[in-house]
Chains A and B, each alone.
Chain A
Amino acid sequence: MEILFYIFGVVAIVAALSVVFQRTPVYSALSLIVVLAALAVIYLLLGAPFIAMVQVIVYAGAIMVLFVLVIMLLNAGHEGPSAHRAKFARWVGPPLLLAFLVEFGVIVWKQYGLTGAASAPALDASPAAIGRLLFKSYILPFEVTSILILVAVLGAVVLAKKQL
Protein backbone atom coordinates (compact mmCIF):
# COMPACT_ATOMS: atom_id res chain seq x y z
CA MET A 1 0.00 0.00 0.00
CA GLU A 2 2.85 2.39 0.81
CA ILE A 3 4.26 2.01 -2.67
CA LEU A 4 1.02 3.45 -4.07
CA PHE A 5 1.57 6.60 -2.02
CA TYR A 6 5.01 7.13 -3.53
CA ILE A 7 3.82 6.39 -7.07
CA PHE A 8 0.95 8.87 -6.84
CA GLY A 9 3.13 11.34 -4.97
CA VAL A 10 5.56 11.36 -7.89
CA VAL A 11 2.63 11.64 -10.33
CA ALA A 12 1.32 14.64 -8.38
CA ILE A 13 4.72 16.38 -8.38
CA VAL A 14 5.32 15.79 -12.09
CA ALA A 15 1.82 17.01 -12.94
CA ALA A 16 2.29 20.06 -10.68
CA LEU A 17 5.53 20.87 -12.53
CA SER A 18 3.55 20.62 -15.73
CA VAL A 19 0.88 22.99 -14.34
CA VAL A 20 3.54 25.59 -13.65
CA PHE A 21 5.70 25.23 -16.74
CA GLN A 22 3.19 24.52 -19.53
CA ARG A 23 2.65 27.54 -21.73
CA THR A 24 -0.78 26.53 -23.00
CA PRO A 25 -3.55 27.05 -20.39
CA VAL A 26 -5.51 23.94 -21.44
CA TYR A 27 -2.48 21.72 -20.77
CA SER A 28 -2.02 23.43 -17.40
CA ALA A 29 -5.66 22.75 -16.54
CA LEU A 30 -5.39 19.10 -17.59
CA SER A 31 -2.23 18.69 -15.49
CA LEU A 32 -4.02 20.23 -12.51
CA ILE A 33 -6.79 17.66 -12.94
CA VAL A 34 -4.13 14.95 -12.80
CA VAL A 35 -2.78 16.48 -9.57
CA LEU A 36 -6.29 16.51 -8.09
CA ALA A 37 -6.91 12.89 -9.06
CA ALA A 38 -3.54 11.77 -7.64
CA LEU A 39 -4.30 13.61 -4.40
CA ALA A 40 -7.72 11.92 -4.26
CA VAL A 41 -5.99 8.52 -4.43
CA ILE A 42 -3.62 9.61 -1.64
CA TYR A 43 -6.62 10.68 0.47
CA LEU A 44 -8.07 7.22 -0.05
CA LEU A 45 -4.80 5.67 1.15
CA LEU A 46 -4.79 7.98 4.19
CA GLY A 47 -8.24 6.81 5.25
CA ALA A 48 -10.39 9.65 3.98
CA PRO A 49 -12.65 8.03 1.35
CA PHE A 50 -15.42 10.61 1.64
CA ILE A 51 -13.05 13.55 1.18
CA ALA A 52 -11.44 11.74 -1.76
CA MET A 53 -14.80 11.45 -3.50
CA VAL A 54 -15.73 15.05 -2.69
CA GLN A 55 -12.38 16.10 -4.09
CA VAL A 56 -13.11 14.38 -7.40
CA ILE A 57 -16.79 15.42 -7.60
CA VAL A 58 -16.39 19.07 -6.58
CA TYR A 59 -12.81 19.93 -7.47
CA ALA A 60 -12.17 17.86 -10.58
CA GLY A 61 -15.80 17.55 -11.69
CA ALA A 62 -17.08 21.08 -11.13
CA ILE A 63 -14.38 23.66 -10.40
CA MET A 64 -11.96 22.48 -13.07
CA VAL A 65 -14.78 22.12 -15.60
CA LEU A 66 -15.43 25.84 -15.02
CA PHE A 67 -11.76 26.56 -15.66
CA VAL A 68 -11.74 24.52 -18.86
CA LEU A 69 -14.96 26.16 -20.03
CA VAL A 70 -13.58 29.65 -19.41
CA ILE A 71 -10.36 28.76 -21.24
CA MET A 72 -12.43 27.46 -24.16
CA LEU A 73 -14.71 30.50 -24.16
CA LEU A 74 -11.92 33.06 -24.07
CA ASN A 75 -9.86 30.94 -26.45
CA ALA A 76 -6.78 31.49 -24.31
CA GLY A 77 -3.91 30.37 -26.48
CA HIS A 78 -0.19 30.15 -26.12
CA GLU A 79 1.31 32.47 -23.52
CA GLY A 80 3.86 34.74 -25.14
CA PRO A 81 6.94 36.27 -23.52
CA SER A 82 6.20 39.07 -21.11
CA ALA A 83 6.67 42.65 -22.29
CA HIS A 84 8.21 43.95 -19.10
CA ARG A 85 9.66 41.29 -16.88
CA ALA A 86 10.88 42.26 -13.44
CA LYS A 87 14.59 41.38 -13.23
CA PHE A 88 14.54 41.69 -9.46
CA ALA A 89 11.83 39.01 -9.09
CA ARG A 90 13.72 36.64 -11.36
CA TRP A 91 16.89 36.78 -9.28
CA VAL A 92 15.29 36.86 -5.85
CA GLY A 93 12.20 34.69 -6.32
CA PRO A 94 13.68 31.22 -6.97
CA PRO A 95 16.25 31.41 -4.13
CA LEU A 96 13.54 32.53 -1.72
CA LEU A 97 11.26 29.67 -2.76
CA LEU A 98 14.14 27.24 -2.41
CA ALA A 99 14.88 28.66 1.04
CA PHE A 100 11.22 28.13 1.97
CA LEU A 101 11.37 24.53 0.78
CA VAL A 102 14.56 23.78 2.71
CA GLU A 103 13.33 25.56 5.80
CA PHE A 104 10.11 23.60 5.86
CA GLY A 105 11.94 20.35 5.19
CA VAL A 106 14.21 21.00 8.17
CA ILE A 107 11.23 21.75 10.41
CA VAL A 108 9.50 18.52 9.39
CA TRP A 109 12.72 16.58 9.86
CA LYS A 110 13.37 18.08 13.32
CA GLN A 111 9.79 17.54 14.43
CA TYR A 112 8.98 14.09 13.11
CA GLY A 113 12.24 12.59 11.89
CA LEU A 114 12.61 11.02 8.48
CA THR A 115 10.56 7.94 9.35
CA GLY A 116 8.19 9.30 11.96
CA ALA A 117 5.23 7.07 11.26
CA ALA A 118 1.79 8.48 10.78
CA SER A 119 -0.04 6.59 13.50
CA ALA A 120 -2.96 4.78 11.95
CA PRO A 121 -5.58 3.65 14.42
CA ALA A 122 -8.85 2.44 12.98
CA LEU A 123 -10.50 5.80 12.35
CA ASP A 124 -14.14 5.71 11.29
CA ALA A 125 -14.16 8.16 8.37
CA SER A 126 -17.36 6.83 6.82
CA PRO A 127 -19.78 9.34 5.29
CA ALA A 128 -22.10 8.74 8.26
CA ALA A 129 -19.42 9.71 10.79
CA ILE A 130 -18.44 12.80 8.81
CA GLY A 131 -22.08 13.80 8.48
CA ARG A 132 -22.69 13.40 12.20
CA LEU A 133 -19.73 15.62 13.03
CA LEU A 134 -20.67 18.14 10.35
CA PHE A 135 -24.27 18.55 11.45
CA LYS A 136 -23.55 18.53 15.20
CA SER A 137 -20.26 20.21 16.11
CA TYR A 138 -19.75 22.14 12.89
CA ILE A 139 -23.30 23.20 12.13
CA LEU A 140 -22.52 26.93 12.39
CA PRO A 141 -19.56 26.92 9.94
CA PHE A 142 -21.67 24.77 7.64
CA GLU A 143 -24.49 27.32 7.59
CA VAL A 144 -22.01 30.15 7.14
CA THR A 145 -20.52 28.43 4.07
CA SER A 146 -24.01 28.17 2.60
CA ILE A 147 -24.34 31.95 2.91
CA LEU A 148 -20.87 32.31 1.37
CA ILE A 149 -21.98 30.24 -1.62
CA LEU A 150 -25.12 32.37 -1.98
CA VAL A 151 -22.98 35.51 -2.01
CA ALA A 152 -20.65 33.90 -4.56
CA VAL A 153 -23.57 33.01 -6.82
CA LEU A 154 -24.87 36.57 -6.69
CA GLY A 155 -21.38 37.95 -7.29
CA ALA A 156 -20.81 35.68 -10.29
CA VAL A 157 -24.15 36.67 -11.83
CA VAL A 158 -23.48 40.38 -11.34
CA LEU A 159 -19.94 40.15 -12.72
CA ALA A 160 -20.86 38.04 -15.74
CA LYS A 161 -23.62 40.38 -16.88
CA LYS A 162 -22.73 42.33 -19.99
CA GLN A 163 -23.80 45.71 -18.66
CA LEU A 164 -22.41 46.46 -15.24
Chain B
Amino acid sequence: MIPLSHILLLSVILFTLGAAGFIIRRNVITVFMCIELMLNAVNLAFIAFARRLPGLDGQLFVFFVIVVAAAEAAVGLAIIVALYRNRNSLAIDDVDSMKL
Protein backbone atom coordinates (compact mmCIF):
# COMPACT_ATOMS: atom_id res chain seq x y z
CA MET B 1 0.00 0.00 0.00
CA ILE B 2 1.11 3.57 -0.52
CA PRO B 3 2.40 5.07 2.75
CA LEU B 4 0.48 8.12 3.96
CA SER B 5 3.70 10.03 4.56
CA HIS B 6 4.70 9.73 0.89
CA ILE B 7 1.37 11.14 -0.29
CA LEU B 8 1.65 14.00 2.19
CA LEU B 9 5.21 14.70 1.06
CA LEU B 10 4.06 14.88 -2.57
CA SER B 11 1.33 17.24 -1.43
CA VAL B 12 3.72 19.54 0.45
CA ILE B 13 6.21 19.61 -2.43
CA LEU B 14 3.45 20.70 -4.79
CA PHE B 15 2.26 23.28 -2.27
CA THR B 16 5.75 24.71 -1.84
CA LEU B 17 6.24 24.93 -5.60
CA GLY B 18 2.91 26.75 -5.88
CA ALA B 19 3.90 29.16 -3.12
CA ALA B 20 7.29 29.75 -4.75
CA GLY B 21 5.65 30.47 -8.08
CA PHE B 22 3.19 32.80 -6.41
CA ILE B 23 6.11 34.84 -5.09
CA ILE B 24 8.55 34.82 -8.00
CA ARG B 25 6.27 35.08 -11.04
CA ARG B 26 5.49 38.48 -12.51
CA ASN B 27 2.58 37.57 -14.80
CA VAL B 28 -0.88 37.81 -13.20
CA ILE B 29 -2.17 34.72 -15.00
CA THR B 30 0.81 32.60 -13.96
CA VAL B 31 0.42 33.80 -10.37
CA PHE B 32 -3.21 32.73 -10.52
CA MET B 33 -2.21 29.33 -11.87
CA CYS B 34 0.20 28.90 -8.95
CA ILE B 35 -2.73 29.47 -6.57
CA GLU B 36 -4.57 26.66 -8.35
CA LEU B 37 -1.50 24.48 -7.86
CA MET B 38 -1.56 25.13 -4.10
CA LEU B 39 -5.29 24.32 -3.97
CA ASN B 40 -4.58 21.02 -5.70
CA ALA B 41 -1.83 20.15 -3.23
CA VAL B 42 -4.35 20.63 -0.41
CA ASN B 43 -6.89 18.49 -2.26
CA LEU B 44 -4.37 15.67 -2.45
CA ALA B 45 -3.86 15.84 1.33
CA PHE B 46 -7.63 15.70 1.83
CA ILE B 47 -7.92 12.58 -0.31
CA ALA B 48 -5.01 10.93 1.52
CA PHE B 49 -6.56 11.62 4.92
CA ALA B 50 -9.99 10.49 3.72
CA ARG B 51 -8.40 7.15 2.93
CA ARG B 52 -6.58 7.03 6.24
CA LEU B 53 -9.60 7.78 8.44
CA PRO B 54 -11.52 6.16 6.55
CA GLY B 55 -14.49 8.26 5.49
CA LEU B 56 -15.99 9.96 2.50
CA ASP B 57 -16.07 13.41 4.11
CA GLY B 58 -12.56 14.23 2.93
CA GLN B 59 -13.55 13.47 -0.66
CA LEU B 60 -16.59 15.74 -0.31
CA PHE B 61 -14.32 18.53 0.93
CA VAL B 62 -12.32 18.15 -2.27
CA PHE B 63 -15.56 18.36 -4.23
CA PHE B 64 -16.38 21.66 -2.51
CA VAL B 65 -12.86 22.98 -3.03
CA ILE B 66 -13.18 22.26 -6.76
CA VAL B 67 -16.54 24.06 -6.90
CA VAL B 68 -15.14 27.08 -5.09
CA ALA B 69 -12.08 27.05 -7.36
CA ALA B 70 -14.39 27.16 -10.37
CA ALA B 71 -16.22 30.21 -9.01
CA GLU B 72 -12.92 31.82 -8.08
CA ALA B 73 -11.46 31.22 -11.53
CA ALA B 74 -14.48 32.80 -13.22
CA VAL B 75 -14.28 35.97 -11.14
CA GLY B 76 -10.48 36.08 -11.05
CA LEU B 77 -10.11 35.79 -14.80
CA ALA B 78 -12.79 38.45 -15.30
CA ILE B 79 -10.75 40.72 -13.03
CA ILE B 80 -7.61 39.95 -15.06
CA VAL B 81 -9.39 40.80 -18.32
CA ALA B 82 -10.67 44.08 -16.80
CA LEU B 83 -7.16 44.81 -15.51
CA TYR B 84 -5.65 44.25 -18.94
CA ARG B 85 -8.22 46.54 -20.48
CA ASN B 86 -7.35 49.34 -18.06
CA ARG B 87 -3.55 49.04 -17.80
CA ASN B 88 -2.75 47.25 -21.07
CA SER B 89 -0.35 45.02 -19.21
CA LEU B 90 -0.36 41.71 -17.37
CA ALA B 91 2.73 42.39 -15.26
CA ILE B 92 1.89 42.38 -11.60
CA ASP B 93 4.36 45.23 -10.95
CA ASP B 94 2.19 47.58 -12.98
CA VAL B 95 -0.72 47.14 -10.60
CA ASP B 96 0.71 49.24 -7.81
CA SER B 97 -1.86 52.00 -7.48
CA MET B 98 -5.57 51.94 -6.69
CA LYS B 99 -6.35 54.55 -9.36
CA LEU B 100 -4.89 55.23 -12.75
* Residues of chain A at the chain B interface (Cβ within 8 Å): 2, 5-6, 9, 12-13, 16-17, 19-20, 25, 28-29, 32, 35-36, 39, 42-43, 45-48, 50-51, 54-55, 58-59, 62-63, 66-67, 70-71, 73-74, 76, 79-80, 82-84, 89, 93-94, 97, 100-101, 104-105, 108-109, 111-121, 123, 125, 129-130, 133-134, 138, 141, 145, 148-149, 151-153, 155-156, 159-160, 162, 164
Contacts and interface: CB of A to CB of B under 8 A. Distances in A.
Contacts of A141: 64
A123 B75 contact: no
A100 to B, nearest CB: 6
Contact of A82 (B23, B68, B71, B91): B91
Given A46-B47, A118-B51, 6 more contacts: A51-B47, A63-B36, A108-B9, A118-B7, A134-B60, A156-B75
> Chain A: interface secondary structure?
helix
Interface string B67-99: 111111111011111101100001101000000
B23 to A, nearest CB: 5
Contacts of B85: 162
A16 B35 CA distance: 12
B40 A36 contact: yes
B82 to A, nearest CB: 5
Given A66-B77, A101-B16, A149 B37 contact: no
Interface string B40-59: 10011001101110111101
B62 A159 contact: no
A97 B51 contact: no
Contact of A67 (B29, B56, B68): B29
Contacts of A20: 17-18, 20-21, 24-25, 34, 37
B46 to A, nearest CB: 9
A5 B79 contact: no
A58 B59 contact: no
Given A13-B13, A123-B54, A160-B82, A54 B1 contact: no
